[in-house]
């Protein structure tokens, strides 16, 4: 029971006042309803075009209905007001709030002819949701001009807006919080194509800034001890005529995470220009940013301090320092992947005019410059530790002229120039060592020489820290989808918990269980798969037996898997102990043997001039194609064949012959048959020593037989 009830008084209830310019409502003018309202009243507006409206000293809520309602300038002073719906349009339109609390929901600002701020807040608190600010120009200030106010914007869109300082929002003092805000196609005559901060604090979460344009700070300009906390901010395609294509930060403090900078441009610092002050970034991705002078992605000068943990800088371009430029101060980076950056004069990935560099656990790959393709140090000091330099292009990978020295320790160089000059000290460096990255990544694969290098520093998996971008306690977390305790890089199949580095590998099952990358059908690791599975290795248990091994004779061991126990010098498949000429692949058992060439091709050891093998050579045998015709064969009388090669067929068994030797009883040759000149091989030893010979008829038959044999070479089996 309330005090008013106890006193017998009725409580004052909030009223709803209706406004309709066409009549049929409590009021036909919005200002009349505002003037008549009491604290806590609700004003419902149904359409209409309203000019200036002023609310002072009251607590009101104003809601615009489905019919379009447009407003001119709304003045709120020392009041608490909420506005839902409605559109502010036209020259001079907008909301001015002073020393008040304002809540906006679903309000649109459309000002093709606008010349002042869409929202001006002085010493006020503004909370807004689902705002749309389009085509609004504020030449003297900014579309949203905030002074010593606390402003929170959610789910808000700015497009095609411009101002002098801040193409979308200017905050001088106070705080600004942006949640799920998109700002695109904005420009400022001076600084901050999208946001201008002067001694202000800002918090951003899930903010997208695109195509901003300004003299400095293409999207963000912050000066005079401004404090920025940025989470998941993406800035792309923004331009600055002088410094900071995406962000110009001067004398300010920045803490950022998941910051993305893409395709921004400036004279210095294509992505970020940090002039004095400090910046601490975790998870920075910068791609394709360009500077006409220094610092393709990042420009740090005048004693500024910058620390970056987990950064990916790719495709940066500048005259000096294609990735990062340090003028003075310090630059610290842990877990860096800097690839494809170019410094056209010096420092492909990093150039230091002066200051201090501390770069630990990183991969610098495919960067290029004439001097210092990866890192160039002019003055100051530099410490590079746990780095992997891969495929740098141009000058030496790391160069230094610093009198204080540059140290490169526990690092690896591969397919790059590792030479340095000046005061570069290489300590525990591995030159021309392949890190064996997992395909398509910069993660060292199983058994890489980059793994488990440090004993005093540990990775996230509690093993000694690795070289490269995935080493140390601050590295990216690698996945372990199968829960086998081995993350990507140490697990070649993260869907199978039985496949990982150090797993037991069963050969011949087609699975590389231990991730060694070797042939699962080559158990002895000699480079040849087992013959049982289509390979060439006759003994896949012994690496000393394979087709590349040299064969030796007499050991009864087939070392080269050719099926032979001894040497086969001519490669004809017959070992030297069996092959009668192991220097001639045409001579071996079962080879075709052509008679009368003086070569025993089939290794049978027979007389090459005795084709029919009857023991009589061509010079003695009148038919060297028929083993049954030779001087030792008995003559068969009157058969028309000269079996005994005496030059004639005997006519009768017991009669005297016309040219018979009365002592021998048969005819004899008076001359040798016509035979080809066989050269030195056709000598008395090869032809036999018999001096008897058949007549001319027998010689002609033998010669014709020889020619027939040469035409039809037969294989001896």
pLDDT band at 463 (very low <50, low <70, confident <90, very high): confident
Which residues, other chains included, contact 578 with Cβ-Cβ below 8 Å and sequence gap of 6+? 588, 589, 603
Q: Does 576 or 199 have the greater pLDDT score?
A: 199
What distances in angstroms separate CA 126 from CA 72, 82, 121, 154, 442, one per listed residue? 19, 10, 8, 11, 47
pLDDT band at 422 (very low <50, low <70, confident <90, very high): low
Question: Measured between alpha carbons, how far is 398 from 419 in angstroms, rounded to an integer?
Answer: 7
Question: What is the percent of the chain where pLDDT is above 90?
Answer: 53
The full DSSP string for 507-532 is TTSS--TT-----TT-TT-SS--BGG
pLDDT at 203 (0 to 100): 98
59 CB-side CA count, 13 A: 4
- Comparing 301-315, 561-575, 677-691, the range with the smallest average pLDDT is 677-691
pLDDT band at 306 (very low <50, low <70, confident <90, very high): very high
Q: Does 582 or 444 have the greater pLDDT score?
A: 444
Q: Does 119 or 524 have the greater pLDDT score?
A: 119
pLDDT at 143 (0 to 100): 96
Question: What is the percent of the chain where pLDDT is above 70?
Answer: 82
Question: Measured between alpha carbons, how far is 433 from 42 in angstroms, rounded to an integer?
Answer: 75
- Comparing 11-20, 201-210, 708-717, the range with the smallest average pLDDT is 708-717
Question: Measured between alpha carbons, how far is 279 from 168 in angstroms, rounded to an integer?
Answer: 23
Residue 408 pairs in a beta bridge with 384, 426
pLDDT for 308 beyond 70: yes
Mean pLDDT across the chain: 84
Stretch 71-87: mean pLDDT, rounded? Answer: 96
pLDDT at 493 (0 to 100): 79
Which residues, other chains included, contact 655 with Cβ-Cβ below 8 Å and sequence gap of 6+? none
pLDDT for 238 beyond 80: yes
pLDDT at 694 (0 to 100): 37
- Comparing 299-313, 483-497, 526-540, the range with the smallest average pLDDT is 483-497
pLDDT for 11 beyond 80: no
pLDDT at 582 (0 to 100): 63
Is the Cβ–Cβ distance between 309 and 335 less than 8 Å? yes
Q: Does 244 or 602 have the greater pLDDT score?
A: 244
pLDDT at 516 (0 to 100): 72
Stretch 425-435: mean pLDDT, rounded? Answer: 82
Which residues, other chains included, contact 677 with Cβ-Cβ below 8 Å and sequence gap of 6+? none
pLDDT at 681 (0 to 100): 40
Stretch 348-377: mean pLDDT, rounded? Answer: 95
Instruction: Collapse the DSSP code of 703 into the 3-class scheme (helix H, G, I; strand E, B; otherwise coil) and give the result.
Output: helix
Question: Measured between alpha carbons, how far is 305 from 356 in angstroms, rounded to an integer?
Answer: 10
pLDDT at 689 (0 to 100): 37
């Amino acid at each position: 029971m309330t005090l008013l009830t106890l006193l017998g008084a009725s409580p004052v209830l909030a009223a709803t006042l209706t406004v309709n310019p066409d009549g049929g409502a409590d009021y036909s003018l919005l200002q009349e309803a505002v003037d008549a309202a009491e604290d806590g009243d609700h004003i419902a507006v149904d359409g209409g075009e309203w000019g200036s409206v002023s609310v002072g000293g009251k607590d009101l809520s104003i809601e615009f209905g489905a019919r379009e309602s447009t407003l001119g300038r709304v003045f709120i002073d020392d009041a608490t007001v909420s506005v839902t719906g409605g559109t502010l349009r036209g020259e001079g339109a907008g909301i001015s709030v002073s020393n008040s609390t304002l809540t906006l929901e679903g309000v649109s600002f459309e000002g093709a002819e606008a010349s002042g701020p869409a929202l001006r807040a002085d010493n006020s608190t503004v909370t807004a949701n689902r705002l749309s600010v389009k085509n609004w120009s504020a030449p003297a200030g900014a579309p949203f001009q905030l002074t010593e106010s606390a402003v929170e914007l959610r789910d808000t869109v700015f497009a095609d807006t411009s101002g002098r300082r801040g193409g979308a929002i200017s905050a001088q003092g106070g705080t600004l919080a942006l949640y799920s805000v998109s700002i695109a196609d904005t420009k400022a005559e001076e600084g901050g194509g999208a946001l201008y901060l002067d001694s202000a604090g800002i918090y951003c979460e899930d903010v997208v800034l695109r195509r901003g344009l300004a003299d400095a700070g293409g999207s963000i300009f912050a000066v005079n001890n401004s404090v920025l906390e940025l989470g998941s901010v993406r800035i792309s395609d923004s331009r600055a005529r002088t410094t900071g294509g995406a962000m110009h930060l001067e004398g300010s403090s920045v803490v950022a995470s998941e910051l993305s900078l893409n395709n921004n441009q400036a004279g210095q610092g294509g992505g970020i220009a940090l002039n004095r002050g400090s910046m601490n970034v975790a998870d920075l991705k910068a791609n394709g940013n360009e500077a006409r002078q220094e610092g393709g992605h990042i420009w740090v000068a005048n004693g500024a301090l910058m620390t970056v943990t987990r950064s990916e800088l790719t495709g940066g371009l500048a005259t000096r320092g294609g990735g990062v430029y340090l003028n003075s101060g310090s630059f610290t980076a842990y877990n860096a992947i800097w690839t494809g950056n170019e410094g056209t004069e010096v420092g492909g990935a990093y150039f230091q005019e002066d200051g201090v560099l501390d770069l630990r656990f990183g991969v610098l790959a495919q960067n290029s410059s004439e001097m210092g393709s990866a890192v160039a140090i002019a003055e100051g000091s530099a410490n590079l530790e746990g780095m992997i330099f891969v495929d740098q292009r141009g000058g030496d990978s790391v160069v230094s002229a610093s009198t204080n020295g540059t140290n490169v320790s526990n690092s690896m160089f591969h397919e790059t120039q590792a030479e340095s000059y000046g005061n570069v000290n290489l300590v525990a460096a591995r030159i021309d060592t392949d890190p064996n990255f997992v395909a398509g990544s910069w993660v060292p694969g199983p058994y890489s020489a980059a793994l488990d290098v440090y004993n005093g520093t540990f990775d996230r998996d509690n093993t000694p820290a690795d070289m490269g971008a995935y080493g140390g306690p601050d590295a990216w977390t690698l996945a372990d989808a199968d829960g086998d305790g081995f993350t990507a890089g140490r697990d070649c199949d993260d869907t199978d918990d039985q496949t990982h580095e150090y797993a037991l590998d069963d050969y011949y099952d087609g699975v590389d269980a231990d991730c060694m990358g070797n042939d699962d059908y080559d158990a002895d690791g000699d480079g040849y798969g087992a013959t049982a599975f289509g390979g060439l290795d006759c003994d896949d248990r012994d690496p000393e037996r394979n087709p590349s091994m040299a064969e030796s004779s007499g050991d009864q061991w087939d070392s080269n898997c050719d099926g032979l126990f001894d040497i086969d010098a001519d490669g004809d498949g017959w070992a030297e102990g069996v092959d009668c000429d192991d220097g001639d692949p045409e001579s071996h058992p079962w080879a075709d043997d052509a008679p009368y060439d003086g070569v025993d091709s089939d290794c049978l050891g027979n007389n090459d001039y005795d084709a029919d093998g009857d023991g009589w050579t061509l010079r003695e045998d009148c038919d060297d194609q028929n083993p049954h015709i030779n001087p030792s064969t008995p003559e068969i009388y009157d058969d028309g064949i000269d079996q005994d090669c005496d030059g004639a067929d005997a006519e009768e068994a017991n009669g005297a012959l016309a040219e018979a030797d009365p002592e021998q009883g048969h005819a004899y040759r008076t001359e040798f048959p016509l035979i080809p000149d066989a050269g030195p091989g056709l000598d008395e030893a090869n032809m036999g020593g018999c001096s008897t010979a058949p007549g001319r008829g027998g010689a002609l038959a033998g010669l014709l037989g020889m020619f027939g044999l040469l035409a039809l070479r037969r294989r001896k089996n």
